[in-house]
């Protein structure tokens, strides 16, 4: 395949040269695999740059096994979010080539086996209680091939901790700020950097936090420009968006 050759054209030439069977070519051209309980999107990577991601919560181990097997058959990177320890142990037993990140609750292709970008995303976490969401963001970005630097426990109640890392944060190309309580860290970071900030509110906080609603509204009402707000506890979304920014920069 030449540098500018279309993938489908390359596949057709491979069939003509008997390098690929008709059956295999048909499989590669299929838009999805029908599993009965799920239709696995096989063209997600072609459309969006990354394969279909599996939301683990609510799926049985058998369903997860079938989905992983289908994606693996097509040599796709595996990323399963929101999967608890017990379910993950069963999945890893069937697919020992994968690894589990307990804090993030993610099963995935080993992070160290994935080539990473030169540019990096800053994952910034206000407090230790926010770590599960921050790690979901960080591991998601890393599985997508993004270099990540973590800046944890730098909430505004001890703002000097943030300032100790601010130059490294400024050198990143995108920041994901994960915070609960009143969510002030997001506005502070956005006021100190010249790149996009994705704010992820968490459900961490006392009664009037309303399981993250207060944090969400605080971040949405930020006076600092350049801030985009994700859903409550949506570390995955923060990591995914950060990865898209870095890839756009490196592919420019």
Last residue of a domain, one of 62, 92, 110: 110
247 and 184 within one domain: yes
Last residue of a domain, one of 78, 110, 142: 110
228 and 181 within one domain: yes
Q: Who's near 209: CB < 8 A, 6+ residues apart?
A: 180, 181, 203, 215
Q: Which helix (H) or strand (E) holds 69?
A: helix 61-73
Q: What CATH number did the domain enclosing 245 receive?
A: 3.40.50.1970
How many CB atoms are closer than 10 A to CB 229? 24
- CA-to-CA distance for 200 and 130, rounded, in angstroms? 10
Q: Do residues 148 and 141 make contact, with C-beta atoms less than 8 angstroms apart?
A: yes
Number of domains comprising the chain: 2
Which position has the token pair 């096994």?
Answer: 65
- CA-to-CA distance for 178 and 130, rounded, in angstroms? 7
pLDDT per residue as tens, the chain (252 positions) = 444 556 667 777 888 888 888 877 766 666 666 676 776 667 667 777 777 888 999 999 999 999 998 888 877 889 999 999 999 999 999 999 999 999 999 999 999 999 999 999 999 999 999 999 999 999 999 999 999 999 999 999 999 999 999 999 999 999 999 999 999 999 999 999 999 999 999 999 999 999 999 999 999 999 898 899 999 999 999 999 999 999 999 887
Q: Do residues 144 and 116 make contact, with C-beta atoms less than 8 angstroms apart?
A: no
199 and 171 within one domain: yes
122 and 230 within one domain: yes
235 and 133 within one domain: yes
172 and 138 within one domain: yes
- CA-to-CA distance for 119 and 47, rounded, in angstroms? 23
> Is 28 domain-assigned?
no
Q: Do residues 233 and 133 make contact, with C-beta atoms less than 8 angstroms apart?
A: yes
Q: Which domain holds residue 97?
A: 33-110
132 and 50 within one domain: no
Helix/strand/coil for 36: coil
Last residue of a domain, one of 110, 135, 150: 110
Q: What is the pLDDT of residue 28?
A: 64
91 and 62 within one domain: yes
Q: Where are the alpha helices (DSSP H) in the chain?
A: 7-16, 22-29, 44-48, 61-73, 85-94, 131-143, 160-163, 166-170, 184-190, 213-220, 235-251
Count Cβ atoms within 10 A of the Cβ of residue 3 and give its class: 0-12 exposed, 13-18 middle, 19 or more buried.
exposed
φ, ψ for residue 3 (rounded to 5)?
A: -60, -40
Q: Do residues 136 and 236 make contact, with C-beta atoms less than 8 angstroms apart?
A: yes
Residues linked to residue 24 through DSSP beta bridges, in sequence order: none
pTM: 0.86
152 and 92 within one domain: no
> Is 82 domain-assigned?
yes
Q: Do residues 55 and 67 make contact, with C-beta atoms less than 8 angstroms apart?
A: no
């Amino acid at each position: 395949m030449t540098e500018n050759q279309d993938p489908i054209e390359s596949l057709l030439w491979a069939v003509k040269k008997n390098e690929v069977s008709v059956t295999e070519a048909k499989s590669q051209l299929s838009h999805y695999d029908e599993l009965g309980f799920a239709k696995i999107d096989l063209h997600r990577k072609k459309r969006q740059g990354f394969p279909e991601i599996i939301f683990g919560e609510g799926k049985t181990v058998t369903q997860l096994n079938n989905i992983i097997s289908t994606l693996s058959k097509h040599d796709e990177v595996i990323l399963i979010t929101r999967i608890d320890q017990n379910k993950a142990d069963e999945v890893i037993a069937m697919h020992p080539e994968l690894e589990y990140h307990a804090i993030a609750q993610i099963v995935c292709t080993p992070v160290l086996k994935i080539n990473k970008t030169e540019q990096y995303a800053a994952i910034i976490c206000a407090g230790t209680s926010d770590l599960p969401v921050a790690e979901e963001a960080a591991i998601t970005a890393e599985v997508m091939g993004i270099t990540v630097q973590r800046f944890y426990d730098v909430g505004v109640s001890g703002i000097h901790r943030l300032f100790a890392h601010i130059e490294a944060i400024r050198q990143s190309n995108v920041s994901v700020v994960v915070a609960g309580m009143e969510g002030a860290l997001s506005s502070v970071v956005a006021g100190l950097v010249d790149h996009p900030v994705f704010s992820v509110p968490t459900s961490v906080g006392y009664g009037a936090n309303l399981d993250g609603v207060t944090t969400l509204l605080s971040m949405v009402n930020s006076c600092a420009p350049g801030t985009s707000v994700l859903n409550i506890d949506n570390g995955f979304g923060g990591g995914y968006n950060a990865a898209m920014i870095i890839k756009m920069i490196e592919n420019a």
